[in-house]
């Protein structure tokens, strides 16, 4: 592998009695610390407080959480264990509301358990082993999906670059830290770099939790990819100076009409890109596409605690008791999106038709991979 390989975000360490190892992203960029999680409650907390974050990584973490919840179960039959699995899935589903991958992964684990629990010759130990194998398989599947998104996206970048160096702007973190390793929005960057092309990334700081400056800049720097951090309100100036060839962002959920939910501030970036004639791409694994929601208006938007804004990182920056509005995500209407970059290729408008066609090819359901 080249020196442009990103770090692993989540993996299983050891045998059946081992642990789910994650990077504690709340400590980045000042400290790289791994957490070995052995209890479902600890996994729920890790998802809730963003120790692990990014829709694909959340899904994998939740799958491991289901296994951890029942690993030490004393259930004597699979029917009893099945009830405990459903209980664990319901608990983990309360951690965060917006990323569809979380619920998709939990349903995948529940369906696996329900299907195998019907087999008379399969006992509790075997069902537990199947749960761990399923969660672990999601990592390999996620890596394959992200690498495919990277290949399709890298081909797009070659067409859109007017300069020898390809200049990308991204918002928040949809890199390796948001998946098992390779990322979605940053996967084209890593693949292009592997191909020997010069890629430079402008990383929006991404208020209020600074995922762009803390996480995207950190992982790109670790991988040897040139990166420049800008505050969110500098994007228009950078675009006006023609320093951006394309915008690539990730997504937590795509509605059936192509509307996209992503980190708060994405909508504004999309409007700016349209104003300056810059392609705006969304890296969207099929697992992030929710055909049950007709439009982005129906996507539940998580609202987070006020102190993330008023007292972020330990320093008060607003008056005490001032009112605060702190949505974690916004929805970008499909009319601002140039194309979706998926593992199956590039999807363009009219999204109501193209998304339906692609998802129908998948049997009318989300692709069976672990994001």
- Which residues have a catalytic role annotated? 252
- Sort strands 246-249 and 166-170 into parallel, antiparallel or unpaired: parallel
Q: What is the Cα–Cα distance from 110 to 84, expressed in whole angstroms?
A: 10
Q: How far apart are the first and last CA of the chain?
A: 23
C-alpha dist (Å) from residue 347 to 16, 116, 357? 40, 36, 10
Q: What's the number of CA atoms in the CB half-sphere (13 Å) around residue 361?
A: 8
Structure tokens at 73: 């179960």
* 3-state DSSP percent of the chain in helix, strand and coil, to 5: 45, 15, 40
149-to-281, 345, 346 alpha-carbon distances in Å: 12, 7, 9
d(CA 202, CA 231): 10
**Exposed (0-12), middle (13-18) or buried (19+): which is 364, by Cβ within 10 Å?**
exposed
Helices (H), 161-281: 187-194, 211, 217-223, 235-240, 266-275
Structure tokens at 80: 């009893």
The whole-angstrom separation of Cα 301 and Cα 298 is: 9
DSSP letter for 234, please. G
- H/E run at residue 65: helix 55-70
For residue 85 the two structure tokens come to 């699995």
């Amino acid at each position: 592998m080249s020196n442009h390989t990103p770090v692993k975000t989540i993996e299983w360490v050891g045998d059946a009695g081992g642990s789910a190892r994650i990077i504690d992203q709340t400590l980045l960029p000042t400290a790289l610390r791994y957490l070995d999680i052995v209890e479902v409650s600890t996994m729920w907390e890790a998802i809730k407080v963003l120790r692990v974050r990014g829709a694909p990584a959340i899904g994998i973490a939740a799958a491991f959480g289901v296994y951890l919840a029942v690993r030490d179960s004393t259930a004597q039959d699979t029917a009893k264990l099945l009830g405990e699995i459903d209980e664990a899935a319901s608990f983990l589903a309360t951690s965060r509301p917006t990323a569809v991958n979380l619920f998709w992964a939990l349903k995948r684990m529940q369906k696996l358990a329900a299907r195998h629990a019907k087999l008379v010759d399969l006992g509790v130990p075997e069902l537990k082993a199947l749960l761990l194998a399923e969660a672990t398989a999601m990592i390999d599947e996620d890596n394959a999906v992200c690498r495919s998104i990277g290949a399709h996206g890298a081909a797009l970048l070659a067409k859109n670059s007017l300069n020898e160096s390809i200049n990308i702007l991204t918002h928040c973190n949809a890199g390796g830290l948001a998946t098992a390793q390779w990322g979605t929005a940053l996967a084209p960057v890593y693949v292009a770099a592997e191909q020997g092309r010069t890629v430079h990334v402008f990383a929006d700081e991404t208020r209020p939790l600074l995922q762009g400056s803390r996480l995207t800049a950190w992982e790109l720097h670790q991988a040897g990819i040139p990166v420049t951090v800008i505050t969110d309100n500098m994007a228009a100036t950078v675009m006006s100076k023609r320093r951006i060839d394309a915008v690539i962002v990730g997504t937590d959920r795509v509605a059936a009409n192509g509307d996209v939910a992503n980190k708060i501030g994405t909508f504004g970036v999309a409007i700016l890109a349209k104003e300056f004639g810059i392609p705006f791409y969304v890296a969207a694994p099929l697992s992030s596409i929710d055909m049950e929601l007709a439009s982005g208006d129906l996507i539940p938007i998580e609202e987070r605690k006020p102190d993330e804004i008023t007292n972020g990182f330990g320093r008060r920056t607003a008056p005490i008791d001032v009112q605060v509005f702190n949505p974690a995500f916004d929805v970008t209407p499909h009319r601002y999106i140039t194309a979706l970059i998926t593992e199956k290729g590039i999807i363009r408008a009219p999204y109501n038709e193209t998304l339906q066609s692609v998802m129908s090819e998948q049997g009318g359901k989300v692709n069976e991979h672990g994001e």
